[in-house]
Amino acid sequence: MAIPEFSSEKCYKVMHVNSGKYLLLKDSYEESNTVNATTLDNEGSVFTITQSGGGYVFTKYDTEYTLGISTSTQGNWANWNTANNVATVWTIEDAGGEDIYITSEKGYLGPNDNATSSGSYVYTNKTQQNNAKWQIIDATAELPNYVSSITSGKYYRLVSNAYDGKTMAVNANGGLVLTNTEKGKGSFAYYSQLWQITGTNGKYNFKNLVSGKSIQAWPGQSQQWQTGSSAANFYSGTTTSGDNKLFWFATVNNTSEHKSLHAAGAANQNNTVVGWQASSDASKWLLWEVDVTEDDIAAAEDWRKTLNSNIGSEFAKFFTDKICTQLKEEYVAMSDDDLRAAMSELPSMMINEAISIKNDMWGNNATWSAYEKDFRIHEYEAYSAPGVWASKLGFGDFGRLTQPTGIRLKAGEIAFLYVERSAARNGTLKVEMPVGVNNTGPQQDLTSGLNKVIANGDCELFITYQNTDTETPLSAHPKIRIHIVGGTCNGTFDMSRGHTDRDWLWLKQNMFKDTYLHMRSNLHVFCTYLDNMRSAQKLTRGMQMIDFVFEAQERAMTTRFNDGYYRPIMTVWDKGSGNPSAGNGRVSWPGINYELFNEETFRDGGWWTSWAYPHEVGHLHQRPLWLAGTREGSNEVLIQIYTHLWGKKTAKGAVSILADRFNKTDGATSWIDNLKNAGEIQSFTQKMWYQLWLYFHQKGDDEFFPRWIECIHKRGNMQNRFYSNDNPAGIDKDYMRAALAACEASQTDLYEFFKVWGFFNYAETINGATDAGVASISDYESFYLKVPRQSVQEEVAQMEAWKAEMQSYEKKAPGIMFINSTAEQGQIGEDAEVVKYFPDLLGANIVNFGANDDSGCTGYYTHFGKNEADNIGFKRSGANFTITGTGAVGYKIYDDKGELVFISFKNTFKTSNAIARGINEGRYSLVASLGDDTDLLLSGPPTIYTNNETTGISSIRDEQFANNSWYTIGGVKLNGRPTAKGVYIIDGKKVIIK
């Protein structure tokens, strides 16, 4: 083609051929930071193009900014120049047909090769390639043509003077008057903005092009104007703003009564046009005269057909089935042209769909057709209602977006959904319309047969099919087929539809055109931007690994996961900026991109997988475990559970610090007193809860944690929230509720475990508050409790009662406080849960996550569940102890009252002088805890408790010890003859010492 001639009286857009997007020139440092000054965009910028020497200058319309080249020595991006700079002169080359190349001395203008959609940055160093082809589009008609007078019978757009871009229109039912911001010609929303104004001498009426209806009589103050067959007469007046004339229109000839057309701006007014004073700025309008062509009238008429309340039923008459997928025989036999003629009274989108069904061909090739057919006609499954189950399980709400359709609607656009059947009893079936990357959107109920849907904004349709009754199985809600007629097929990547990496590559390269992208793994819906995902070559493996994170936390917290009743899906949406966060209905993640689905990131323990994402998902699971002050700690136990199941066998931080807290010479730290240090309480919480999970997991009891959560619910809600300084709550009892619930759930005496963690130590001061004060604990919100909670005597009595309740359980866990999983470097083993999901990860390298300062300690979890004692003894020098032999998981010292007073994770330790004297005098007892839930007495009287989970004589492993050895009735070996009264066993016989 010949290089086009550019008129000084016209304006142009520069369209990128591959993407169909337009060149957008940002024109300030604030907008562009100079680096991202030029991008692709759905709307783009309007330019004047002038010849200069042997090339052309592109000037952004109505500004001084021109398309330029970065002045940076390293930058190759397209930039902007101002009038103070020398304008860049670009060369235009013929690229065949209507296409051109735009070049400079640095190279060809174009986006990155793998980024061709909205938001893609445009560079100047490309080569002569398809991705660097452009077309020049005449955009003169898109420029505002504001007028200062009205010509009766002409069409106008009424643009709000108060709200930039808002233009008066009708809604998609054609009845209510509102405002929208649509600029793209061809859509329903665009034609709904065109009003034919008729009348003279300051009195006019308004008729909408697309609906054919006129604005009716005044609806009342602050009430929305409506359209109909009759037309109200409006008085008009004008004011001036700069070079523009502003118009007001009211049914009375004054500006003080509330009877004018007024653009409501409040968020809760939904862009309505209401009756209000003409003197208000939002009652002033710019009049943009529009030349309406015969093609415009025909397009508007086609959209008007969709407003016919019977149009959906008329379409259905051509089909034999309820969801309009099988044409009647007489129509199947017709040619395409004859079928078009038979359906001429229907809108074109319905006719086109019928022809696609007749020919079993959507689009221009078989591959496209197969995808679009599946996106338009699909069978949807029921999921559990997230809010109902959140209440039942005590979790957060994971989000209600479950099933993306791949069909998009523009603002104001209409689609018809033909539904096979209504939802069954205790079920709901809705279509949801999230705008952009939002995690929720307006919902509309769907019933059997025809359903008409109107989009409030640019959105993708989601089907939300839920079972709202926790006692009804999902199987009571059969799959439902839905046929979507209308909208644009943009596609979606959805593993639940069987999509693989091969599908991802095809869809990315051929079907995805919209700025926004919704993707679905088996357990997640991701709401992000197409540009962020362009570089991804593979998705399925990374998505499966993200699913593993969620499933691991679910299975840790409940036995109901995928049990036929409870089937959750997590929504993750791109919040754009800031830090990741979690809230009801979603996890917010800024900048969701292909790196999040990178298999190597998961395998190597990247930040996203090892901490950040499990951390946020943990927030939505944590509520049953959230003691006051532990919001950023109680969720992290779920990170540790996930990393352990992955095979990393590593805890975030060491647990040996527990000994330092418990062995303090001035007394063990109270759990409540920990609240004065937010960092400590977060760290201690995750370690404590993780030890409980790991201990019972190693015993093969993976239902302990879920049972514990249920027992917590039964004993009363955690966190007595929203109490004030004047009315403090009993949050100091929450921690003991959780401890007692753990004993109940495991039917185990866990007194020593919680004693070591400080649950049985009285705190006279709390967070600085003493006497009759009130302690305030900040944890995103404030918690309050009285100090002292009660008298010391009453508190001690209460603790004794709690102790007695715990010790009433016969089963013991004497070594549980020692269990840890801080791993050495190694490989993922056969015992790792992740190998069940990803067998090829067996033998992969483990990358440690978190602190590893438990090296050299006893208590590694693999030693639990077995007795590995081998000649365990000790040597003492003053208060310094050295353990000899091997096989213990930890060491404990009891005083002469049988109370635990000292613990050690290491084979060498130092006690206080008082404890050392107690051992030396035979009053205190030193024991080694073994992995089989027994304690081996090394020194002192056998005043420790025994493990009644064993069965007396039969539990003693005589073959491992000399026949002359003495044992407690619970199977604990003594070093020598017992010195205290009690029942013992020697040589397999029971002996009573009185």
Tell me the per-residue pLDDT of 441-469, one tens digit each, with 9 for 90 and over.
999 999 999 999 988 778 999 999 999 99
pLDDT at 988: 60
User: Among 110-114, 243-247, 681-685, whose mean pLDDT is lowest?
Assistant: 110-114
717: pLDDT strictly greater than 80: no
Higher pLDDT, 850 or 925: 925
807: pLDDT strictly greater than 60: yes
Contact 133, 100 (CB under 8 A): yes
Write the DSSP string, 345-377: TS-HHHHHHHHHHHHT--SSSHHHHHHHHHHHE
2: pLDDT strictly greater than 70: no
659: pLDDT strictly greater than 70: yes
**pLDDT winner (highest mean) among 150-154, 677-681, 718-722, 736-740:** 150-154
Rounded CA gap, 60 and 47, in Å? 4
Rounded CA gap, 538 and 504, in Å? 7
830: pLDDT strictly greater than 90: no
The percentage of the chain sitting over the pLDDT mark of 70, rounded to a whole number, equals 81
Q: What is the mean pLDDT of residues 831-837?
A: 82
The SS3 assignment for 209 reads: coil
Q: What is the mean pLDDT of residues 963-985?
A: 62
Q: What is the mean pLDDT of residues 132-159?
A: 91
Taking Cα atoms as reference points, which of 119, 125, 106, 228 lies closest to residue 170?
Answer: 228
CATH class of segment(s) 144-301 = mainly beta
Contact 95, 133 (CB under 8 A): yes
Report CA-CA distances (Å) from 545 to 404, 431, 609, 842, 977: 21, 29, 9, 15, 57
> Which tokens in the block code for residue 327?
């044409």
Q: Are strands 748-749 and 811-812 parallel, antiparallel or unpaired?
A: parallel
Rounded CA gap, 568 and 385, in Å? 8
Higher pLDDT, 123 or 297: 297
pLDDT at 767: 60
DSSP state of 824: P
Direct distance between the N- and C-terminal alpha carbons of the chain, in angstroms, rounded to an integer: 114
Rounded CA gap, 822 and 857, in Å? 10
* Confidence bin at 269 (pLDDT 50/70/90): low
User: Among 440-449, 512-521, 643-652, 702-711, whose mean pLDDT is lowest?
Assistant: 643-652
956: pLDDT strictly greater than 60: no
Q: What is the mean pLDDT of residues 198-208?
A: 91
Report CA-CA distances (Å) from 62 to 21, 48, 137, 683: 21, 9, 18, 59
252: pLDDT strictly greater than 50: yes
Rounded CA gap, 199 and 205, in Å? 7
The percentage of the chain sitting over the pLDDT mark of 90, rounded to a whole number, equals 51
Contact 816, 691 (CB under 8 A): yes
pLDDT at 234: 96
Q: Which residues partner with 180 through β-bridges?
A: 167
Contact 123, 112 (CB under 8 A): yes
**pLDDT winner (highest mean) among 141-145, 169-173, 620-624, 935-939:** 935-939
The SS3 assignment for 332 reads: helix
Rounded CA gap, 354 and 325, in Å? 8
Say which CATH topology domain 372-603 has: Jelly Rolls (2.60.120)
User: Among 44-53, 270-279, 662-671, 746-755, whose mean pLDDT is lowest?
Assistant: 662-671
DSSP state of 381: -
Taking Cα atoms as reference points, which of 863, 558, 873 lies closest to residue 695?
Answer: 863
Tell me the per-residue pLDDT of 483-499, one tens digit each, with 9 for 90 and over: 999 999 999 999 999 99
pLDDT at 908: 94
525: pLDDT strictly greater than 70: yes
> Which tokens in the block code for residue 838?
């990803």
Alpha helices in 749-863 (DSSP H): 751-756, 792-807, 834-837
629-666 residues labelled b (16+ CB within 10 A) or e (exposed) = bbbbbbbbbbbbbbbbbbbbbbbbbbbbbbbebbbeee
Q: What is the mean pLDDT of residues 240-255?
A: 91
Report CA-CA distances (Å) from 281 to 160, 252, 278, 567, 624: 9, 18, 8, 52, 52
Contact 815, 903 (CB under 8 A): no
Q: What is the mean pLDDT of residues 793-810?
A: 88
Rounded CA gap, 875 and 105, in Å? 83
pLDDT at 646: 80
Taking Cα atoms as reference points, which of 207, 223, 282, 218 lies closest to residue 250?
Answer: 218
Residue 7 identity? S
What's the pTM?
A: 0.80
* Confidence bin at 826 (pLDDT 50/70/90): low
33: pLDDT strictly greater than 50: no
* Confidence bin at 521 (pLDDT 50/70/90): very high
Domain at 12-141: CATH architecture: Trefoil (2.80)
Q: Are strands 586-588 and 570-573 parallel, antiparallel or unpaired?
A: parallel
pLDDT at 898: 92
Rounded CA gap, 927 and 892, in Å? 5
921: pLDDT strictly greater than 90: yes
Mean predicted lDDT score pLDDT of the chain? 84
Rounded CA gap, 797 and 811, in Å? 24
Taking Cα atoms as reference points, which of 925, 674, 695 lies closest to residue 811?
Answer: 695
pLDDT at 920: 94
205: pLDDT strictly greater than 90: yes
pLDDT at 194: 96
Write out the E strands in 615-739: none
Which burial class, exposed, middle or buried, applies to 230 when counting CB atoms under 10 A from its CB (0-12, 13-18, 19+)? exposed
744: pLDDT strictly greater than 90: yes
